[in-house]
Amino acid sequence: MPSPRTSFVVTCHNLGAYLEEALDSLNAQTVSDHEIVVVNDGSDDAATCRLLAGLDRPATRVVHSERLGLPGARNLGVTYARGEFLCMVDADDLLEPVYLERSLETLARDPDIAFASHWLRTFGDEDWEWTPADCTFPALLQTNTVNGAALMRRSMFERLGGFDETMVDGCEDWEFWIRAVAAGFSGVIIPEFLFRYRRRSDSMSRTMERSPGYAALVRQVVDRHADTFLRHLPAVLARIDKEIADRSVGAWQLHGEWSTHMQGQLAWLADNQRAVETLRKAEEREQQAIATEAALRETRTEVHELHAGYMRELERNQALRNSLSWRLTAPLRALLDMVRR
C-alpha cells in the first residue's frame, strides 16, 4: 500500500477512557491522507487493555510494549509509522478538524520550515488559552513555546534521533525542540486554536508541575544545552526581567481595578444602608399612622355613641313635655319656681 502523507503517533498508558474520543478527532480531519499508530505503553488497566486488544479502526494499528515512558513510546511508534510528516498525540487530547490541513499548508509553503506548532485551548479541569508567538531562541529557552503535537517533518525527527528516552518524568518535548532549533531547524507557530489540551488532576503535566523535582527537570534541560543557554543568557534574562516588569504592571493595574471596584462596593453599601434606614423610618411612620388611625376609629365610635345617647335623651324629654301629666302639673312647677326665688 502507498505510504500515507502523515502519521499520527498516539501514546496510551491506562487512558482507555479517553482514547476513542482522541481517535475520533484524528479521523475527523479535513485531510484524510493519514494513518494512526497507537502505542500501548505497558497499560495495566483492564478496561484500557480490553479496548486496545479489540481496537479495529481504518488505517489504525496498535503496537504493544512494556512500559517505556512517554519519550520511548513515541520513538517506538515512529518506527512503525510510514508518513512523511509526524504528529505526536497523547491519548486524552484532541485535534481540531482543520489541524492537519493548516499545518500541511504551512509546511508546504516553505520547505525550510521543519515543524509547525499552533495555539491551544484547555478543557477538563481547567479552562484557559495558550497563545505563544515565537519558537526561536531566546524565547524557546525561557519556556517551551512549542506544543508536543506540532506537525514535524520525519527527516528532522530522524536526524535528531527522536526523543531523549531518559527523560521519562517530563520536559522531553521542550528538550527535543531546543535540540531541533540548536541544530538549525526552523519552526513556526500558526496563530490559530488547533489543539484541545485536556487538563486532569492526575495528568503527567500536572504531576510534573507540582513535583518538587520539576526544578531538577529544568536543570536537566539546561545542562544538556549549556552552551546554547550561555550563548543566549543575556537575552533570556532580559526577557525574564521584562516579564516580571509586565506582571508587576499588570498586578498594579489589577490592584487599581480592585480598589475601584471596592470603592464602588462601599459606596453601594453606604447607599444601601441609607436606603435601609429610610425604609426603617418609613415603616415606623406607617406603624404610627396605623396606631393613629386605630385611635381615631375608637374616638369616632365613642362620639357616635354619645351623640346617640344625647338624641335619645332629647326624645325622652320631648315626650315628657308632650304628656298629660306634664301639662296638669305645670301650675305646681310654676309655684315651686316662685318659692325657690
- Each residue of 50-99: pLDDT tens digit? 999 999 999 999 999 999 999 999 999 999 999 999 999 999 999 999 99
> How buried is residue 57: exposed, middle or buried, by Cβ count under 10 Å (0-12/13-18/19+)?
middle
Instruction: Work out the pLDDT band at 251, boundaries 50, 70, 90.
Output: low
3-state secondary structure of 212: coil
Q: What is the pLDDT of residue 286?
A: 76
Q: What is the pLDDT of residue 341?
A: 65
Q: What is the pLDDT of residue 302?
A: 66
Instruction: Work out the pLDDT band at 325, boundaries 50, 70, 90.
Output: low
Say whether pLDDT at 150 is over 90. Answer: yes
Say whether pLDDT at 273 is over 90. Answer: no
pLDDT average, residue stretch 199-212: 66
Q: What is the pLDDT of residue 122?
A: 97
Can you give the pTM of this predicted structure? Answer: 0.73
